[in-house]
Every structure is written in C-alpha cells, then in structure tokens.
Amino acid sequence: MAVVLATMAALVLVGGAMAGRGATERPRHRLLFDEPAPAAGTSGAAASSAGAGESAVAAGPAEPIRPPHHIPDGWTWREVGPLSARQGNVAVWTGAQVLYWGGDRPGRPPEGAAYDPKADRWRRLSRSPLTNRAGAAAVWTGREMVVFGGMNGAGGQSDGAAYDPVTDHWRMIADGPLSGRVPLASAWTGTEMLIVGARGAGLYDGIKDAAAYDPVHDSWRDLPALPMQINNGASVWTGSELIVYGAFLDRQRGVQAADDRARGAALDPAAGHWRDLASPPLSGQAITLAWDGTETIGWDHDLSSAAYDAGADTWRPLPDLPLEARDCLPQGTAAGAVVFATHCGQAAVFDPRRRAWQELPAPATAVDPPVWTGDGLVEWLGPSGRAGDGTWFRPLAP
C-alpha cells in the first residue's frame, strides 16, 4: 500500500515537475499579507492540529513579482497575489471570483485565496478544517466550493469540506463511502458532486467505485462502479452524463493493454447506469477532454485531437494542435463556445464552427489550464522566482 500511495503522490506532482518551476533568483523585496484566522465554527484543537506531514504554523510572506520582460499579445499581467508557489491546488470559478486552495508541499498549512479579476483584487480565505493536500476534487455548487479527497504526507484523504465565499466560512462535509484517493473523475450535476475512481499509475487493484454527494442534505449515495480499470484519464460533464476516458498505467506509465488507445464509459447518475463508449483515435497514456456545449473535444500528448458525439457514440478526427511537441501532459478547458488548450507555455484555441485549431500566444511558463470566467481566462503562475510569475488575464469572447 505504501508503494501505491507513493506512486499516486508522484503522479499528482508530475505536472509541476514538468513545468520546471525550480528555485531561481528571488525578487529583492517582500510584501506581507495578513494571515487568515481559523475558519468560523472550527475549534482551536481542530484548527491547530496537524495531520501527518502537515503544519499549522502561520504562512510566511508572499513574494511580489516584477512585471515580465515580455507580455504575450492579448494578455494582461497582474500581481502574483498572497499565496506561495504550489502544485496540485484546486481552482474553482464562483461567478465572481476564482477560489484557489491547497496544493503546495507537505508540511505547509492549508492555505487558500480568492481572486476577483474585475477588481484585480486578492483576499485570503479563512483557514480550512482540512489538512493540506494535492490532487483533491473540487466543484462549485452555486453557493459553496466543495472539496473532497486528495493526497498528502499521510496518504490518500477521504474527507472533505465546503467553503462559502460570502461568509468566508468552512464546514466539514459528511463522511462518505469512498476510501482516501486522488479522484479520477469528478463533476457537479446541478444537485450532486460525482466522484469516480482513483488516479495513480501502478494502482494495480484498480479502484473503480463511485459515489455522489448532496450538499443540501449533507449526504452521500453509492453509485455503480466504473465498468473498466482506468487509473489515468480525463472526464467531462455533458449535462446528463459523466464521460470518462483514459487507460490503466503501470508504474512506468506504460499502458496495460494491447494498444495505447483510450477506453471510455459514460455514467448517467439519475439512472445509476454506465455504458461503454467507442474508442477514440487518441492515446490513453495522457489525454484531456473539454465539453464545448454540444460535443466532447479530446486531445493527447502527441497533440492529436478528435471530437466525440455522445448521441451517435462516434469519434471523428480533428486537425492536430498547431503546437511544438514538448514533454508536457495535455491540459485545457472549455471557454464558452471554444476550447482552450495549453502545452508547456504554448496555447491553442479550437473553434467548433470552423473545426480548426488556432495557435495563440501564452505566458512562457504556463502549464496548468486557466480558469474560464465567462468573458476571459485567468492563469495564475507563481511565485516561483521565474520571469513569467503573476496573475494573467486574457479577454475571450464567449
């Protein structure tokens, strides 16, 4: 089990390692931010107790970052904000703010911050009752950010909490039926948060169970298990189904199948039923998916792309992404009627009306997908000491 957990932790952090955010020369000046108080309703013992590998010491000062020498066309650079550099954090759009929480290294406090792109203003979140972790699932319910699972120095985490940005208050959510894990897939259906499977190369027992959390009644219900073993993949919510594609990888991230093509299934949570899906012309070794409102757009680490029609259960090839091949995991997000892809400091946008990708300028150190706000993209980088660190915004017509 220790080997499994170590492997899962390594997978969570691999994206950050590829980003190359190593320590370099730091800026000369430092800016202090107020440390948040413990979450309202949290006892002193709960606020100060530390899980294995965690610490409740006050967060240190954040690093202000000078504007970079080069600002890509279409982007605006802004200050980095109050959080230290981190990997594996959650990022959720509320309709007014981006909520960032968790990530960072073991031994750090469970910090979070909210960014308002219209006002260009950051604020700290109150201290979460959860221990810090990377790779947690997070959804926005319309009122709260619900966080579940993740990995830290104590291994996979099976607890969760909900954060209300209006009251700046956290609450623990009910214990559920799922073991500690980095979730393979998650989604908000409009009434429930779905959690499916677990992510982690080399997880030979193949965790496939699933459950749904109802925040109104603070209760969980079991869902049927994923009908295939997938420990690395991507998912999208279509409005009625959770589509999951990926592969089962060994410890060397090799695909344990006759070929490396992704396999997939779709869950109808209302009916409590999975259905097998057609195989795409994409590798399951590293794949990402985005829902453009009518179909699923997928692409892999080879920059091949394809579109999936859920009604017809068919894939059709699309042009390759017009980017340079680099050693990065595919990342991206739906942005209104288009899909935005990032790949090791490069970016491209897919327009389904033209059925074509177009390369766009991007911050040179961008690896993680940006957050779509309804009228633009927020890409938070830093602070790691690199020239591109900061909070980036790009207007994008919906």
CB 167 within 8 A of CB 40: yes
Q: What is the DSSP string of 197-217?
A: EE--TT-TT----EEEEETTT
Query: In this model, does residue 64 exceed pLDDT 70?
Result: no
Q: For the chain, how big is the Rg over CA atoms in Å?
A: 20
> What tokens appear for 48 in the block?
């100060």
C-alpha distances in Å from residue 66, one per residue of 70, 80, 120, 141, 244: 12, 9, 16, 36, 41
pLDDT range class, residue 53, cuts 50, 70, 90: very low
DSSP three-state, residue 5: helix
Give the pLDDT mean for 235-259: 87
Between 329 and 39, residue with greater pLDDT? 329
| Mean pLDDT (the chain, rounded) | 84
Report pLDDT for 202.
67
Pairing of strands 232-237, 242-247: antiparallel
Name the more confident of 16 and 364. 364
Residue 66's pLDDT band (boundaries 50, 70, 90)? confident
Query: Is pLDDT larger for residue 245 or for residue 31?
Result: 245
Q: Are 154 and 51 in contact (CB under 8 A)?
A: yes
Q: Using one digit for the tens of pLDDT, what is the confidence trace for 104-154? A: 776 788 999 999 999 999 999 999 999 999 999 999 999 999 999 999 999
Query: Taking 50 as the threshold, does the pLDDT of residue 40 lie above it?
Result: no
What average pLDDT does the segment 160-175 reach? 98
Q: Which of these, 304, 344, 334, 338, lies nearest to 322 by C-alpha position? A: 304
pLDDT of the residue at 203? 61
Give per-residue pLDDT as tens, 253-265: 777 776 789 999 9
Q: What is the pLDDT of residue 398?
A: 67
Q: What is the pTM assigned to this prediction?
A: 0.84
56 pLDDT more than 50: no
Between CA 178 and CA 207 the distance in angstroms is 10
Predicted confidence at residue 82, as pLDDT, reads 92
Residue 378 or residue 63, greater confidence: 378
Query: Which whole-number Å values give the CA distances from 63 to 82, 267, 325, 378, in the listed order?
Result: 8, 44, 32, 19
Instruction: Say which amino acid occupies 177.
Output: P
Phi, psi for residue 107 in degrees, rounded to 5:
95, -5
Residue % of the chain over a pLDDT of 90: 67
Q: Is the pLDDT of residue 334 over 90?
A: yes
Residue 261 half-sphere exposure toward CB, CA atoms < 13 A: 11
pLDDT at 228 over 60: yes
Give strand pairing partners of 268: 273
CA dihedral sign of residues 331, 335, 339, 344: negative
> pLDDT category, 252, cuts 50, 70, 90?
low
- Greater confidence, 35 or 199? 199
Query: Per residue in 339-394, pLDDT tens?
Result: 999 999 999 999 988 999 999 999 988 888 999 999 999 999 877 777 788 999 99
Segment 315-323 mean pLDDT: 97
More confident residue, 260 or 301: 301
